[in-house]
Structure 1
Amino acid sequence: MSTDSPAYGVIRDGIALREQGRAPEAKALLESLIPEADRSDDPYLQIFLAHSLADVQETPEAELAWDLRALALMDSLTDAQAHARGNPGGKNALLPSLHLNLAVDYRRLGDLPNARHHYALGEAHLDALADDAYGDSIRTAYAEGL
């Protein structure tokens, strides 16, 4: 696994563009990485890209598709790979955010049973989050509820 791939920086740039309200630019930048990620043997890169792409989609259906892709890719990620990318809680530290996004996606689509299901799945892994700003933001989102 290449932990110094320039693709990680491009994804962070895409996230910054989205946070600046420049979602179309972010989407174009992130989509440019799809061929590289598809060829990569780095599941963390693939998950990070899919998770980030979900946040720049125009429709809830497209957002759901990318979030489901990110979750499906979790099967190929090991705890060691997640630790190597700076997740002290291993791969389980990624699950609260992934499931929260899926819960929100399903809620937007009016599928409350699936929304509640993913909310509960993510909530079950909150203890894997680090005690840092990111972990705090995810815990706060769960505390606010669906």
Structure 2
Amino acid sequence: MPTPPEPPAYATIREGIALREQGRSPEAKALLESLITNVENGDDAYAKVFLAHSLADVQERPEDELAWDLRALAFLNDLTDQQAVARGNPGGKNALLPSLHLNLAADYQHFELGQAHLNALSNDEYGNSIRSAFAEGI
């Protein structure tokens, strides 16, 4: 199946990502925010995920970044595997989950916070199981 034509919002989102990568986050944020109304009122679920996921990365406040990452994950519910494949994700919408969950893990920072307290665990079965889970990245 041929890839459908790309809506203009996609190019604008990629432009915002490029600005962020150049260290120009305020400009990137303004550009991405200019798309919110049109994208969120539209019917392109992939654009909604893409925009929210990108907006999360340009937030100054951690709670705002978390809110956008949660929105991206919520928008994923409306995305079909076919839409994700058509936009270059051969694994379907599940191929987006690692990145979305990684961002949420970073937002919550619980992995690092928990890891910082591993020395408080006893040297017993429970403590060893928790240390092992952290070592495996679970």
TM-score (norm 1): 0.73
| Alignment deviations for residues 68-89 of structure 1 (CA, whole Å, 9 cap, x no partner) | 0000111100000000001001
Hey, what's the Cα distance between the residues in 1 that align with 2:75 and 2:53?
10
Q: Is residue 40 of structure 1 aligned with residue 22 of structure 2? A: no
The alignment yields a C-alpha RMSD, in angstroms, of 2.2
Alignment-derived partner of residue 25 in structure 2: 23
What secondary structure is seen at the aligned counterpart in 2 of 1:4?
coil
Alignment-derived partner of residue 14 in structure 2: 12
Hey, what's the Cα distance between the residues in 2 that align with 1:68 and 1:111?
20
The structure number with the bigger radius of gyration is: 2
Aligned to 1:54, which of 43, 53, 56?
A: 56
| Alignment deviations for residues 101-125 of structure 1 (CA, whole Å, 9 cap, x no partner) | 00000007x875xxxxxxxxxxxxx
Q: Are the structure 2 counterparts of residues 75 and 3 from structure 1 closer, same or farther at C-alpha, using a change threshold of 3 Å?
A: farther
TM-score (norm 2): 0.77
Identity score, percent? 71
Instruction: Kindly tell me the number of residue pairs found equivalent between the two proteins.
Output: 114
Alignment-derived partner of residue 65 in structure 2: 63
Hey, what's the Cα distance between the residues in 1 that align with 2:8 and 2:76?
21
| Alignment deviations for residues 8-43 of structure 1 (CA, whole Å, 9 cap, x no partner) | 000000000000000000000000000111111000
What secondary structure is seen at the aligned counterpart in 2 of 1:92?
helix
- In structure 2, stretches of 5+ residues that fail to align are 115-136
- Quote how far apart the aligned CAs of 1:4 are: 1.7
Hey, what's the Cα distance between the residues in 2 that align with 1:3 and 1:102?
31
Moved over 3 A (4+): none
- In structure 1, stretches of 5+ residues that fail to align are 113-144
Hey, what's the Cα distance between the residues in 2 that align with 1:57 and 1:66?
9
Q: Is the 8 A contact 1:3 1:85 kept in 2?
A: no
